Amino acid sequence: MDIGNYDPMVAGDAFDADRWERSPLCGPDQGDCVEINFGRPGLVAIRDSKLANSPVLVFSTAEWETCTRGLREPR
């Protein structure tokens, strides 16, 4: 994936469709979550669970780890 030409509307095409995951803690309708795809080495993709064709945000593994660590830290 060429980040220099990153387009969130087509970025999901670079990730295997069957590798999208969501937390088992999602709401009962499974629509209040994000889906995460770890299918590319060194990259993490995130999309809206309600919209499979939504824009996809792509982060490096290091960026993703920093984000999730920050979310877990007490405030």
Answer whether residue 65 shows pLDDT above 80.
Answer: yes
Confidence (pLDDT) at 32: 76
First to last CA, the chain: 35
Per-residue pLDDT band for 3 (boundaries 50, 70, 90) equals: low
Mean pLDDT along residues 1-11: 80
pLDDT tens figures, 14-58: 999 999 999 888 877 766 789 999 999 999 999 998 887 889 999
For residues 53-62, b (16+ Cβ closer than 10 Å) or e, as one string?
ebebebbeee
Q: Where is pLDDT greater, at 32 or 1?
A: 32
Answer whether residue 11 shows pLDDT above 70.
Answer: yes
